Amino acid sequence: MDQTVIITNNLAQELSDQIDRLNPDSVFLLTDTNTRNLCLPSLITDGTLASYPVIEIPAGDEHKNLQSIAIVWEYLSSHGATRKSMLINIGGGMTTDMGGFAASTFKRGIHYINIPTTLLGAVDAAVGGKTGINFNGLKNEIGVIQSADAVILYATFFRTLDRKNLLSGYAEMVKHALLKSEEEWKAVIGFDFDNIDYNLLGDLTQRSIAVKEAIVAQDPTEQNIRKALNLGHTFGHAFESFSFTSEQPILHGFAVAFGLVCEIYLSRKKLGFPAPVVSQLVRLVKEHYGVLHYSCKNYDALYELMTHDKKNDRSGINFTLLAGIGNIHINQHATKEEIFEAFDFLADCLSI
């Protein structure tokens, strides 16, 4: 499950070096429609990379499904890919999740490299080996855990992102900071989105990835401490899935931000998480992430979505909660009444 993570200022050269190291018999590039226009030209600057065939899938998490994965499998099959071939996934979390799943299942597994082009992809989806697609209205319902041969980070891509997509990735960095230490928390929440320092963002991204890598290294298959990385996601995935049924779908990181508020509320209620940090988190989410559109009429539907979460066990809906920053408690449970209280808390926080 070991994974090489490389931060580079010379993306084309680093990618060529990794291809030489792995020595595949053929190479395929996977992008979505947005990445092909915005980022792919940075890669195909020499004859070698320009010669690789490109598989293009529709952009957007709503296309992270069986239809899109079939496009990838069909292209690989019809263009002579073998068990010694390689798939290079260039894009955000949707592309690296789906591309990793395609590579891990095609002919029972071929080489793959992730090149995340979004902040969310860099700090979350591209690292750690989780791959998959959405199915039956549920987030990441089908997938496998199989690490990429390499993850190559090129922070210049972050300059192509609008504020919303930067904030989507930032939510995962906030989560990692809560899992790590008060020092990391202060560093991350102090980032100034009104005057973006991309060098500082690159440094914070590297630190955030290190938090995730350290946890994954202890528990690659999520039997124990890796469950910590689900902080904010039990509520967050429900919010995200629910938003897809409305006219106002939200980005993954926004759903995680709202989920963090709910799960830190439960952490305060059940484990005594410090009230001042709860207030800091609420202010941050309200300032940057706005309002989540739901009402008490939606509580049962949201709760039903939470009951389908992959982390659940026979004891009920499973949470990672915190007794303090860096003080992690996995395999926590809450009653339906407590979960509805968290919905109330989030609604009250964002309406003040």
Based on the fold, state whether residues 37 and 87 are members of the same structural domain.
yes
DSSP tag of 92: S
Based on the fold, state whether residues 271 and 337 are members of the same structural domain.
yes
Based on the fold, state whether residues 23 and 138 are members of the same structural domain.
yes
**How far is residue 46 CA from its own chain's centroid?**
31
Based on the fold, state whether residues 181 and 107 are members of the same structural domain.
no
The pTM of the whole model exceeds 0.75: yes
pLDDT at 175: 98
pLDDT at 44: 75
pLDDT at 115: 93
Based on the fold, state whether residues 145 and 252 are members of the same structural domain.
no
pLDDT-flagged residues of the chain (< 50): none
Based on the fold, state whether residues 217 and 77 are members of the same structural domain.
no
Based on the fold, state whether residues 320 and 238 are members of the same structural domain.
yes
Among residues 76, 75, 74, 118, the alpha carbon closest in space to that of 97 is found at: 118
Helices assigned H by DSSP within the chain: 11-22, 33-38, 40-43, 47-50, 66-78, 93-105, 119-120, 163-180, 182-189, 198-218, 233-243, 252-271, 275-289, 299-307, 336-351
Based on the fold, state whether residues 118 and 242 are members of the same structural domain.
no
Domain closes at, from 145, 160, 175:
160
Based on the fold, state whether residues 219 and 122 are members of the same structural domain.
no
Neighbours of 290 (CB within 10 A): 15
Domain closes at, from 112, 139, 160:
160
Based on the fold, state whether residues 203 and 342 are members of the same structural domain.
yes
Q: Which two tokens stand for residue 191?
A: 């980032």
Based on the fold, state whether residues 277 and 230 are members of the same structural domain.
yes
Q: Which two tokens stand for residue 228?
A: 């910590």
pLDDT at 308: 86
pLDDT at 140: 85
pLDDT at 47: 62
| CA–CA gap between residue 352 and residue 191 (Å, rounded) | 24
Domain assignment of residue 8, given as a range:
4-160
Count of structural domains, the chain = 2
